[in-house]
Structure 1
Amino acid sequence: MGGALDPVVAEGRRRLRATLDDLEPGSRVEVALSGGADSLALAACLAFVAPHTVWTAGAVVVDHDLQPGSAEVAAHAARQARELGLEVAVVSVEVGTAGGPEAAARDARHAVLRSREADAVLLGHTLDDQAETVLLGLGRGSGPRSLSGMPAVDGIIRRPFLGLRRADTERICTASGLTWWSDPHNADPSFRRSRVRHEVLPLLEDALGGGVAEALARTADQLRADTALLDELAAQVADPCDIPLLAAMPAALRTRVLRRAALEAGADGSELAAVHVGELDRLVTDWHGQTRVELPGRVSAIRVGDALQFQSTPVAG
């Protein structure tokens, strides 16, 4: 007779079900499996839940080939996933250099994940990851969009464990008889996230008496809800280039309408920052004959009478 079910394992399974409760029987669900504790815990929970929900369950292991032995790490993760009963694919990628090593690896990985023929792809981000993301956004001086952190649902991407701690995922792995890999990059102080994880957050927890990670995650949830509402209101504006209409709006709504207009004109959303939107706002509220505002993606905005116009940025020289 088996022992009592570990309550953390039960909670992991419950959270996975809740994040995927919109999926129909027969849907395909895959775990983005790195071999670390977070994604292995997800794999274990999915392997248990999938037969009860009649989902097709799998895992995709992305080998970035950035460290010696990465192929062996990928093979070990794939072997454990197969032993859990999951269908497994191992995909090797070439990582570029744009945005630095962390961003380039993330972009390569997400390109693979979003290309999968799956109804949902699960990422193992935890509450600790969410807290780190909020602090990193705060350090960059980013606005509420960045400080709202990672959503639980983002298209086919799902993050069931945003309410669990990193220690919880290790506990699920131990209870499931799984051995995880610890990425040495996560302890490398040359990476900003690593320093936030091992230096900044422990210091804040000590100085403020604990509960900092949970508070940061709650703040992200609140900001995400506010941002979603303002984005919805911005999407309802019929003419996002009408200056009298823009000038009459509250600033919080106007800047979102301007961001929407810039994206629709072809601006690069991955590089469009608050400083760019602020300059667009000056065309509306602080007009002194500025010639144009140049945006990432070779798009510029100009003011012509009572309207904004977007055009291709002229080539220098």
Structure 2
Amino acid sequence: MGPDPAVAAVRVAVRRALAGLPADGMVIAACSGGADSLALAAALAFEAPRARPVRPAGGVTIDHGLQEGSAVRADKVVRVLAGLGLDPAGSVAVVVGERGGPENAAREARYAALDETALRLRATAVFLGHTRDDQAETVLLGLARGSGARSLAGMPPSFVRRPSGSEDAGVRYVRPLLDLDRATTRRACRAMGLEPWDDPHNEDPAFARVRVRHEALPALEKALGPGITEALARTGRMLRDDADALDEMAARAYADAAVQGEGGEGGEGGEGGGDGPAAGVVFEVERLAALPRALRTRVLRAAAIRAGSPPGTLAAVHVDEVDRLVTAWRGQRHVDLPGGVRAHRRYGRLLFGPAWAERADSGT
């Protein structure tokens, strides 16, 4: 008799993800202790020793320190990971700042810790437990922000982050469970005798994602019928190819329009802005104006992120205002962007950098 169908589904997803990686190197499961990442960790512990060749597999949990008793909770998760057979299994405590809002700040702290862990262990990849439900929520949040096709494309199945100051090729992240729903991971945990931890933050309506999960999506299901989650996730997949092609063209346009040697070389890093803020980004306005809008706005968004504007809070309205500095300039000096970044036009050039730097330069 085979495993429970939910367990089998999670294992198959992990097996396929492992098959798509280089044969050598450790794979790490990032585990919060919730049902999604716990089912992922258990599947990785099962599949890694059965891979050909056998693959080392570890697990890590991040202690954000945002709740009382978080260190105790992290220790419990580590014991579960070790009990599953993941080695090494450990936790990393982080300090969550305030930049870009609480959700973005926690995310940045988490990814920075995962980057460091993966590089230290020379891991081939870090597996994340995001599901189809998470994908649908991400697409709906992107729609609400009005940030274009890239936001509507949702989360990629895999991506590479290049930590600031690192000479390594970067850290690869993989989401094996994007085609599975949250109910499947819960069933898998029950079948394996694993008790997931439900983060209280996942029920806090102060967070936009929680409101989407418990209010917006149920309302859409009620008004339009079942299948909204699947439809949103499918839309994300369909838009990703288009967004990838446009982003590739935009990267070339970025390099062509950037002023070399003045902070203008390079483009947006992997997910989460892994390249880190640059001192400044400078473009020739004439070259930007000659681009189709679909490419130009991508270039402007990438420049704002490279200059330090958090991707999660940079919305289409911000990019549109910067675009007006290029296409509808009537002498306006600057546009203030999230993260203390300012875009301003001067002498036929468009500059992105810290707002304080431009104020200091003008003597205000």
> Shared topology, TM-score over 0.5?
yes
The corresponding residue for 1:67 is 67
| 1:94 aligned onto 2:95 | yes
The number of equivalent residue pairs is 313
CA spacing shift, 1:52–1:41, aligned 2, 3 Å: same
| 1:254 aligned onto 2:323 | no
Whichever residue aligns with residue 60 of structure 2, its letter is V
The corresponding residue for 1:10 is 8
The corresponding residue for 1:290 is 332
- For 1:72 and 1:167, how far apart are their aligned partners in 2? 27
The worse-fitting range, judged by mean Cα deviation, of 286-295 and 173-182 is 286-295
Find 1:145's aligned residue among 146, 150, 154: 150
The corresponding residue for 2:169 is none
Whichever residue aligns with residue 76 of structure 1, its letter is K
- For 1:98 and 1:308, how far apart are their aligned partners in 2? 25
Whichever residue aligns with residue 29 of structure 2, its letter is V
**CA positional deviation for 1:163:** 1.0
Whichever residue aligns with residue 236 of structure 2, its letter is A
The corresponding residue for 2:343 is 300
Asked if 1 retains the 8 angstrom alpha-carbon contact of 2:146 and 2:316, the reply is no
Equivalent residues in 2 for 1:1-317 (5 A)?
3-53=1-51, 54-87=54-87, 88-116=89-117, 117=119, 118-155=123-160, 156-237=172-253, 238-240=256-258, 241-262=283-304, 266-270=307-311, 272-295=314-337, 298-305=341-348, 308=350, 312-315=357-360, 317=364
CA spacing shift, 1:298–1:310, aligned 2, 3 Å: closer
Asked if 2 retains the 8 angstrom alpha-carbon contact of 1:204 and 1:212, the reply is yes
**CA positional deviation for 1:45:** 0.8
**CA positional deviation for 1:124:** 0.8
Asked if 2 retains the 8 angstrom alpha-carbon contact of 1:29 and 1:121, the reply is yes
RMSD, matched Cα: 2.4
- For 2:65 and 2:208, how far apart are their aligned partners in 1? 21
Asked if 2 retains the 8 angstrom alpha-carbon contact of 1:33 and 1:43, the reply is yes
Asked if 1 retains the 8 angstrom alpha-carbon contact of 2:300 and 2:323, the reply is yes
CA shift digits 1:258-292 (9 cap, x unpaired): 3345556x353535442332233223322323334
**CA positional deviation for 1:203:** 1.7
Whichever residue aligns with residue 114 of structure 2, its letter is L
- For 2:221 and 2:305, how far apart are their aligned partners in 1? 39
CA spacing shift, 1:8–1:139, aligned 2, 3 Å: same
Counterpart of 1:4 in 2: which secondary structure?
A: coil
Whichever residue aligns with residue 55 of structure 1, its letter is R
Counterpart of 2:19 in 1: which secondary structure?
A: coil
CA shift digits 1:179-234 (9 cap, x unpaired): 11112222223333222212221121122110000111112222222221111011
- Give unmatched runs, 5+ long, in structure 1: none
Asked if 1 retains the 8 angstrom alpha-carbon contact of 2:158 and 2:174, the reply is yes
Counterpart of 1:98 in 2: which secondary structure?
A: coil
Counterpart of 2:83 in 1: which secondary structure?
A: helix
**Equivalent pairs: percent with the same residue?**
54
Asked if 2 retains the 8 angstrom alpha-carbon contact of 1:13 and 1:45, the reply is yes
**CA positional deviation for 1:244:** 4.6
Asked if 1 retains the 8 angstrom alpha-carbon contact of 2:341 and 2:352, the reply is no
CA shift digits 1:238-263 (9 cap, x unpaired): 23545454434321122123334555
CA shift digits 1:90-123 (9 cap, x unpaired): 2222323334433332222221111113221111
Asked if 1 retains the 8 angstrom alpha-carbon contact of 2:64 and 2:70, the reply is yes
